[in-house]
Structure formats: structure tokens, C-alpha cells
Amino acid sequence: MSEKLPQTMNVIAIGEDGAPNSLHLTTCNVPRPQADEILVRIGAAGVNRGDCMQRIGLYPPPPGAPDIMGLEFAGTVVACGDEADKWQPGNRVAALVAGGGYAEYACVHQDHALAIPDDMSFTDAAALPETIFTVFANVFEGGDLQKGETLLVHGGSSGIGTTAIQMAKHWGAKVVITAGSDDKCAACRDLGADLTVNYKSRDFVDACRDFTQGAGINVILDMVGGDYIARNMEAAAVGGRIVNIAYMQGFSAEVNFLPVMLKRLTLTGSTLRARPLAEKTRLAEAVNKAFWPHIGAAVKPIVDSVYPLAEAGKAHTHMESSHHIGKIILDCSN
């Protein structure tokens, strides 16, 4: 250990009614790393839709995970388990976890942590794990996006969306996004989006048809669901791949599946939180090889706002307003 560890730490707990303003600081014991884990003093943690879902009881942590919210963080290694030999106290890392980020300390399996550049702040680094892992697993593995193809991202100004734009452009693909305001569309264009569609003033199916000269979209990343499910099929190209990672407008829809046959479409989706340890290790290694070397350059963290850990409720209210562009971050350093 490089520092004397306290016995207790501040964490965010969820109140009985599950409202944003029910989130409050409490204390619990500082966790101790298992044999293959490292303990990290958290500098900053990312706020995600999954946290909001957990707050209202719809996204419980998988067995064995902490019941504290928080799926990603960045900080400094302060202790290592007996069999953890990849990191040393003092190393600066970012990590994707199944829970525990809304706290001053958290443990993570040593294989799931990634080194962050010396000149990158914890605030910026905490904006990256969930988005990069999610985009890589769903766009590049699940969607098999190829150089020269076109990617459609719904919610282009979200944390996922702003990262997907940059990763896809770095990969050599064309990018179309949808967003709910002209300001959000402008921000996405600044990140490299080839076409931005304000869905409040233009139908994205028509826009995609015009942009591709009738060919359609190769890969669609959707976190909306609802009536977008059928409309995505309409917008997709022959052989298109549609990947769902959330259903903000509902899990159910009345859908004509004939386009699936006629266009030979692939419909898929995934979540990262409950994946087995070995699969998370494989994914971390793939991300570390393909995209992590480019963070801060080709793939920059886009941070909308930063809240103190004690104001996690305000951060959730801001998240649920959908007014943000990029990531919302909690400063866990005080």
C-alpha cells in the first residue's frame, strides 16, 4: 500500500422513493481487494442512464457486485490483492465496473483497468470507459462496422453518441446522427458527423434515404426503442445490422418483420454489466488494443458538466432532462 487507508468512506445511497433528490451521502467500510483485484481511490465517476434505472429499481446490480451505483470511474491505485501484479500503487487508471463508482474508493479486477495518460484529468478519463466499451462491443463487434460503411446513431449528443461519432470516423466510416435540437446537431457536426438530423423537424428515415441515395444505413445504434424499432428497419440497408442498447421509449412495439427477410437484416443488442468475468477481460483487451491508445486524440472525452459527489441527485436530474451534450461526471475527490 502506498497510503494509509481509512476504515470508512463516503458513498451515495438511494432513498426509499427512488427520486433523484433521495440520493444522499452516507458512509460504509472501504472495500478490501480480493486476490486478483486492485483498490482505487476514485477521482471522478461517470453518470449513466443505467444508474438512473438502478435508482428507480429497474436495473439491479448482478450477483456479487456492490449495491452502490456507478459503472465507471477513474482514479489512483492505492492497494493490490495478493495475486494482482499488473498494477502498482500510484498508477492512474480508468475502469468499467458492475457497480461501486459513486464512492471514494472501489475495487476492480486488475484485468478490467486501463491506464490513463499522465496529462489527462480524472474528470476526462471517467467519461470514457462506459462509452468506449459500449460502442466497441455493439458497433464494432455486434454491428461489425466496416471502413466506408455508414453508421446511424440515435442520441448522437449523448455520451455514447459523441464517442460513437469519433470512433466510427477514426475507423473510416460515415456517420449520421439524430438529436433533439439544432445545438446538439451542431455539436455532433463539430465532432465529425457527416449528417445530423434534428428529429423534431425532419424524419430520419427520409434523411437517411437521401444521404445514402436510397442504399440505406449499414449499422444502426439505437437506444430509443419504441416506434424507432420499425423505423430502423425501414432506414436500414440490405444486410444492415441494427443494435439496441437501451429502450428509452419502451421495450415493446408492433413491428412488421417482413423487412428482416427482404433486406436480410440482423437485429441484435447487448448489455455489459452482467457479462461473465472472462468476457469482460476479453473485451477490455480488445478495447485496449483497438481504441484506448487513441484516447485524448482521435477519441476525446466530451464532458458536459461536473457535480460534487454529494450532488449526485442534481446530476441525475440533469441526466433525465436530456439537456446535456456528452458526459455528466461526479467529482469524488473531496
Same domain, 102 and 136: no
Query: Which DSSP category does 6 fall into?
Result: P
Q: At what angle do helices 228-235 and 204-211 cross, to 10 degrees?
A: 10
* DSSP string for 255-272: ---HHHHHTT-EEEE--S
In a domain? residue 293: no
CATH of the domain at 184: 3.40.50.720
Does 28 have pLDDT greater than 60? Answer: yes
* Distance from C-alpha of 298 to C-alpha of 125, rounded to nearest angstrom: 14
pLDDT at 3: 67
Query: Residues near 288 by Cβ (< 8 Å), separated by ≥ 6?
Result: 114
Residue-wise pLDDT tens digits, 278-315: 999 999 999 999 999 999 999 999 999 999 999 999 99
Same domain for 154 and 103, yes or no, is no
| Residues 75 and 136 reside in one and the same domain | no
Q: Is the dihedral of CA 200, 201, 203, 204 positive or negative?
A: negative
Residues 91 and 169 in one domain: no
CA distance 224 to 251: 9
Within a domain: residue 15?
Answer: yes
Residues 93 and 206 in one domain: no
The residue length of the chain stands at: 334
Q: Which domain holds residue 123?
A: 8-128+301-331
- Specify if 294 maps to a domain: no
CA 17, chain centre distance (Å): 26
What is the CATH number for 60? 3.90.180.10
Question: Mean of the pLDDT values across residues 158-164?
Answer: 98
The pLDDT tens digits of the residues spanning 95-112 come to 999 999 999 999 999 999
Mean per-residue pLDDT for 264-279? Answer: 94
Residue type, 315: A
Q: Are residues 149 and 218 in the same domain?
A: yes
**Residue 1 pLDDT exceeds 60:** no
Mean residue pLDDT across the chain: 96
Answer yes or no: is 208 within a domain.
yes
Residues 81 and 163 grouped into a single domain: no
Q: pLDDT tens for residues 33-63?
A: 999 999 999 999 999 999 999 999 999 999 9
Residue 324 lies in a domain: yes
Same domain, 194 and 81: no
Distances (CA, A) of 164 to 114, 156, 332: 19, 8, 26
Asked if residue 97 belongs to a domain, the reply is yes
Total domain count, the chain: 2
278 falls within a domain: no
Domain boundary among 269, 289, 315: 269
And the C-alpha cell for 82?
Answer: 495478493
Q: What is the DSSP letter of 130?
A: H
- Tens digits of per-residue pLDDT, 275-285? 999 999 999 99
Displacement of CA 37 from its chain's centroid (Å) = 22
Please check whether residue 136 lies inside any domain of the structure.
Answer: yes
Q: Is 234 exposed, middle or buried (0-12, 13-18, 19+ CB in 10 A)?
A: middle
**Cα distance between residue 240 and residue 56, in whole Å:** 35
- Is 118 found in the same domain as 201? no
pLDDT, mean of residues 251-267: 94
User: Is there a single domain that holds both residue 149 and residue 118?
Assistant: no
Give me 78's grid cell.
492505492
Residues paired with residue 171 on neighbouring β-strands, in sequence order: none
| pLDDT average, residue stretch 259-284 | 95
Q: Are residues 166 and 253 in the same domain?
A: yes
180 lies in the same domain as 145 = yes
